[in-house]
Amino acid sequence: MAHADYIFTSESVSEGHPDKVCDRISDEIVDLIYREARKTGVDPWSVRIACETLATTNRVVIAGEVRLPESLMKENKSGEQIVNAGRIRSAARRAIRDIGYEQDGFHWKTAKIDVLLHSQSADIAQGVDKSHETRDANANDINEGAGDQGIMFGYACRETPDMMPAPIYYAHKILELLSSARKKGEGEVAKLGPDAKSQVSIRYENGEPVEVTSIVLSTQHVDPSWDSDKVRKVCEPFIREALGDLPIADDCVWFINPTGKFVIGGPDGDAGLTGRKIIVDTYGGAAPHGGGAFSGKDTTKVDRSAAYMARYLAKNVVAAKLADKCTIQIAYAIGVAQPVSLYVNLHDTGSGVSEEEVEKAIRATVDLSPTGIRRHLDLNKPIYAKTAAYGHFGRKPGRDGSFSWEKTDLGPKLKAAIKAA
């Protein structure tokens, strides 16, 4: 029987955290390439991106392999087609500026940016462009193979309105409110810096979140005279607003800038890398993670697209009231279109349905190949920069097609498939 009474903790980091700066730059480049493909009439299905970013004191290094529209290429002195590094640098500088870095050790204008992107490996491309399987007899409808082997997980529960685990939901919300207020530039909160981390511990009774037992916040500030008490005075109203109706325990322990002064932040204080905050990006440790990062990757990479589909499926199972909690695993082999396995766990909360019935219903209603996922969720769009901070899940679907995996439109089809079986 599952542990029913416990305390669980999750953390979040702000968009100005060094690793998140790198995630944002990588995803801005993903968006740039998709945007340019659509603008110039290039088939967005042909785009390939695997972009990694490193950031440190006034230095950004962007590396990886890509297949780009011609408009993002240029000819070098030898007549070879190479990546137009100027367009990539501009996208990176815009991202750093929007985050808010204008400090001596890391400034969007003065940071040196190295672009080391090169063409995608032909060996990898052949496995992705044409899989070992065909969708049907139509030779023009050959599924893409998965961009790599791997396992991806999706999760949903009833703890919050967005069907996310409560600790990560509230940890994100605290930082989102502080970031929004900082950027508006009103009052003393405008003296906060971009770099911040939060952590929320929640006590559960009978598996339900009942109160917050500890709150940790470390946030950069530009006024070196501020101490921990001052930071708490500025930030506490936003923390309480973020927690909303969730009670704060009378003996809740608050750790606000517990080490004291936090003036030097971002990549100047600590180097950052793309893909180092995968638990922050997903479920805060409340559910399994396959290990693959999301940012900087096009959606042939199942690390990204299949994780989105797994969340979409789990959320729809819960939204359709087939269960109160759902974990889904999907596994792939490189170059093979259809997953090698699909696993569903309803955590003993199923409403008269079994895991086997849900698995069969999913396979009957959704094409889980990379092609099918990209079509179903409409992923070939410049919608990824906004995923780079405050989680890829539990967000509101946008009119631009962003966060389509958070829609709950599949429930009726799943129910019909179960009934028809």
Find the catalytic residue in 129, 270, 355, 359: 270
Where does the pLDDT of residue 123 fall: very low under 50, low under 70, confident under 90, or very high at 90 and above? low
Find the catalytic residue in 23, 52, 176, 268: 52
Q: Are strands 112-119 and 272-273 parallel, antiparallel or unpaired?
A: unpaired
Statement: residue 129 has pLDDT above 80: no
Catalytic residue flag (residue 65): yes
Where does the pLDDT of residue 136 fall: very low under 50, low under 70, confident under 90, or very high at 90 and above? very low
CATH topology classification for 6-13+166-268: GMP Synthetase; Chain A, domain 3 (3.30.300)
Percent of the chain with pLDDT over 70: 91
3-state secondary structure 264-329: CCHHHCCCEECCCCHHHHCCCCCCCCCCCCCCCECCCCHHHHHHHHHHHHHHHHHHCCCECEEEEE
* Contact yes or no for 54/21 (Cβ under 8 A): no
Can you give the pLDDT at residue 19?
98
Looking at domain 18-124, which of 3.80.30.20, 3.40.50.10800, 3.30.300.10, 3.40.50.2300 is its CATH number?
3.30.300.10
Q: State how far the Cα of 239 lies from the Cα of 248, in Å rounded to an integer.
A: 11
Q: State how far the Cα of 13 lies from the Cα of 272, in Å rounded to an integer.
A: 12
* Contact yes or no for 401/340 (Cβ under 8 A): no
Phi, psi of 19 (to 5 degrees): -65, -35
Can you give the pLDDT at residue 124?
52
Q: How far is CA 247 from the centre of its chain?
A: 28
Can you give the pLDDT at residue 141?
45
Can you give the pLDDT at residue 80?
65
Statement: residue 78 has pLDDT above 80: no
Find the catalytic residue in 11, 15, 17, 298: 17
Catalytic residue flag (residue 52): yes
Catalytic residue flag (residue 191): no
pLDDT per position as a tens digit, 379-388: 999 999 999 9
Find the catalytic residue in 8, 153, 238, 262: 262
Can you give the pLDDT at residue 311?
98
Q: How many CB atoms lie within 10 A of CB 319?
A: 18
- One-letter amino acid for residue 137 of the chain: A
Where does the pLDDT of residue 120 fall: very low under 50, low under 70, confident under 90, or very high at 90 and above? low
Find the catalytic residue in 8, 11, 15, 19: 19
Domains 6-13+166-268 and 150-158+283-420 are alike in CATH topology: yes
Find the catalytic residue in 24, 67, 172, 197: 197
Find the catalytic residue in 298, 303, 324, 406: 303
Find the catalytic residue in 20, 87, 221, 374: 20
Can you give the pLDDT at residue 4?
84
DSSP summary character for residue 6: E
Can you give the pLDDT at residue 121?
57
Contacts of residue 143, Cβ cutoff 8 Å, sequence gap at least 6: 131, 133, 134, 135, 337, 338, 369, 370, 371, 372
Can you give the pLDDT at residue 83?
79
Can you give the pLDDT at residue 132?
44
* Contact yes or no for 253/9 (Cβ under 8 A): no
Can you give the pLDDT at residue 257?
96
Catalytic residue flag (residue 197): yes
| 3-class SS of residue 63 | strand
Burial class (CB in 10 A: 0-12, 13-18, 19+), 85: middle
Which spans in 81-207 are helix H?
Answer: 85-99, 122-129, 166-184
| 3-class SS of residue 3 | coil
CA dihedral 359, 384, 24, 165 (to 10 degrees): -40
- DSSP β-bridge partners for residue 350: 323
- Higher-pLDDT residue of 103 and 144 is 103
Catalytic residue flag (residue 413): no
Q: Are strands 102-103 and 106-107 parallel, antiparallel or unpaired?
A: antiparallel
Contacts of residue 250, Cβ cutoff 8 Å, sequence gap at least 6: none
Catalytic residue flag (residue 262): yes
Can you give the pLDDT at residue 144?
77
| Pick from 10-14, 83-87, 142-146: least confident | 142-146
Where does the pLDDT of residue 126 fall: very low under 50, low under 70, confident under 90, or very high at 90 and above? low
Catalytic residue flag (residue 276): yes
Where does the pLDDT of residue 229 fall: very low under 50, low under 70, confident under 90, or very high at 90 and above? very high
Cα separations (Å) of 64 from 7, 24, 191, 279, 368?
41, 15, 36, 23, 27
Catalytic residue flag (residue 277): yes
pLDDT per position as a tens digit, 319-338: 999 999 999 999 999 889 99
Find the catalytic residue in 297, 304, 325, 374: 297
Statement: residue 209 has pLDDT above 50: yes
Domain borders along the chain are: 6-13+166-268, 18-124, 150-158+283-420
| Pick from 64-73, 225-234, 342-351: least confident | 64-73
- DSSP β-bridge partners for residue 216: 199, 255
CATH topology classification for 150-158+283-420: GMP Synthetase; Chain A, domain 3 (3.30.300)
pLDDT per position as a tens digit, 255-307: 999 988 999 999 999 999 999 999 999 999 999 999 899 999 999 899 999 99
Structure tokens that stand for 213 in this block: 């037992």
Catalytic residue flag (residue 17): yes
Q: What's the mean pLDDT when you consider all of the chain?
A: 92
DSSP summary character for residue 128: H
Q: Locate tokens 């940071």: which residue?
A: 111
Structure tokens that stand for 11 in this block: 């953390």
Can you give the pLDDT at residue 134?
47
Mean pLDDT of 16-27: 98
Catalytic residue flag (residue 3): no
Can you give the pLDDT at residue 118?
86
Q: State how far the Cα of 141 lies from the Cα of 202, in Å rounded to an integer.
A: 49
Q: State how far the Cα of 396 lies from the Cα of 401, in Å rounded to an integer.
A: 10
Statement: residue 343 has pLDDT above 90: yes
Which spans in 324-420 are helix H?
Answer: 355-365, 370-377, 411-420
* Contact yes or no for 256/238 (Cβ under 8 A): no
335-353 as b/e: b if 16+ CB within 10 A = bbbbbeebebbbeebbeeb
Structure tokens that stand for 335 in this block: 């170059």
Find the catalytic residue in 35, 59, 63, 65: 65
